[in-house]
Structure formats: C-alpha cells, structure tokens
Amino acid sequence: MSNIRKAQKALVQRILEGDGKTSPSKRRAAFNNRGLDEPLGTLVDKVAKHAYGVTDKHIAAAKASGLSEDQVFEIVVCAAVGQATRQYEMAFAALKDATGKE
C-alpha cells in the first residue's frame, strides 16, 4: 500500500475512532451520511453533496439543537472526509476492475 493510502486510512481512523467531543457512533453516522436526526442530517448531506450550499442557518440550526462548536466541527469534518473517501474507494474499485489488480 502506498504512503498516501496509509496516510488516508490513518486520517479516517483518527477522526472516527480517536478521542473527540462527539460520540464515535455520531461521527461514523456523519462519515456515512446515514442515520442522523434533523437538523444534523441536512447539514451532513449538504456537506457531502453540495457543500457550497451550506449556509449560516445550517450551522446555527446544528448549534441550536444542542451541539457545541467543537461538536459541529467534528461532524462537518467527518462528513467531508466520508464523502471524499467513498469517491476515493470507488475509483480504486474501478481501477481494479480495469486492471484485475488491487
């Protein structure tokens, strides 16, 4: 495995399994863009699919639901890394299909 793939996996492991202000289950839900109640579900989906569409209101709604700024920070990071990881892994699967090699 290349240095970059190792570093990418270390980043994912850190944000999902390391210490945080948000529970690991909620960070993983944000990473997977699945299973979060509102208003977090909308914020995470926006970050994953149309981050340019995130507004002050989305962040304010997340804070008004009881999350601290540190928790919003972690959730948004997990959402961004999650979507980027899905695309990265999908592309490697396509490479494997095209070449027959991992």
97 lies in the site for other proteins, by CB under 8 A: yes
Cα gap 40→59, rounded to integer Å? 9
Rg, the chain, Cα only: 15
What tokens does 42 get?
A: 């909308």
Considering the complex, what minimum distance in angstroms separates the CB of residue 37 from other proteins?
A: 19
Considering the complex, what minimum distance in angstroms separates the CB of residue 65 from other proteins?
A: 15
Chain positions 14 to 33 lying near other proteins, rule: CB under 8 A, are 14-15, 18, 20
Q: Which is nearer to other proteins, 37 or 102 (CB)?
A: 102
72 lies in the site for other proteins, by CB under 8 A: yes
39 lies in the site for other proteins, by CB under 8 A: no
Give the residues lining the site for other proteins (CB under 8 A).
2-5, 7-8, 10-11, 14-15, 18, 20, 46-49, 51-52, 54, 56, 59, 69-70, 72-74, 76-77, 79-81, 83-88, 90-92, 94-95, 97-99
